[in-house]
Amino acid sequence: MNACFSRMPHECLASRMQAAIVVGALAASASPALAEVREQLATREYAVTADPGAPLLQLLNSATPIRENGKVFHGYTKWYVKWNYRWNEAPDGSCRITRVDTAVEGTITLPKLVGGSGAQRTRFDAYLAALRTHEEGHYAFARQAGREIDGEIAALPAMRSCKALETEANALGYRILDTYTTREKQYDRDTDHGRTQGAWLER
């Protein structure tokens, strides 16, 4: 699923996010359910060539590759939650989860100022720190969702069939993801897309 958040047309949008999931199931031998979450977060940068005579906001708006529906973004957080699980089927056909493996992967895209005066760099560094904090806040929802999905699927009780178990496990994962996607949208509303965290430039 994709979500893009916007401010008023005259304002500069600092960030957007994207979330997705991948699920799977495999049969397995009987063993206690195990939960494991792997996390990987990468950072990508795009160059912003400094010009002491130009406003920092103008430089960022010109340099950023992050654009969608006419909106300009300075930061971008893309994350995925992937889960796989194994089950054991009893002679009577009942089925239970024996292992869950969950991976959370994210990429944060941020600007990198090239050159510039001391004053311009100082202003940029303060803005970048605030923008990074805001984007890491987006990724935190991915981490929380991954951990909850992992634990809740591992805790599912045995069910009458493996098909029923698979259906419930995946539905559970989707419900949790929807919850955290909703919370993430509220996070942008609460922070005014990073503005209350300092991720804001007037010019």
Give the residue extent of every domain in the chain: 2-193
Residue 54 in 3-state DSSP?
coil
At residue 25, the pLDDT reads: 54
Q: How many angstroms separate the CA atoms of 133 and 175, rounded? A: 27
Residue 187, pLDDT score = 94
Cβ 6 vs Cβ 185: under 8 Å:
no
* Per-residue confidence (pLDDT) for residue 23, from 0 to 100: 53
How are beta strands 15-27 and 2-3 bridged, if at all? antiparallel
Given this model, what pLDDT does residue 148 score? 97
Q: Which of 203, 158, 197, 181 is nearest to 75 (CA)?
A: 197
Which conformational region is residue 70 in: left (phi greater than 0), alpha (psi within -120 to 50 degrees), or beta? Answer: left
Are 50 and 114 in contact, with CB atoms under 8 Å apart? Answer: yes
Mean pLDDT by 10 residues, the chain (203 residues): 22 36 51 72 97 92 90 92 95 96 97 92 96 97 97 96 96 96 94 92 86
Distances (CA, A) of 184 to 61, 66, 139, 166, 203: 24, 19, 9, 27, 27
pTM of the model: 0.82
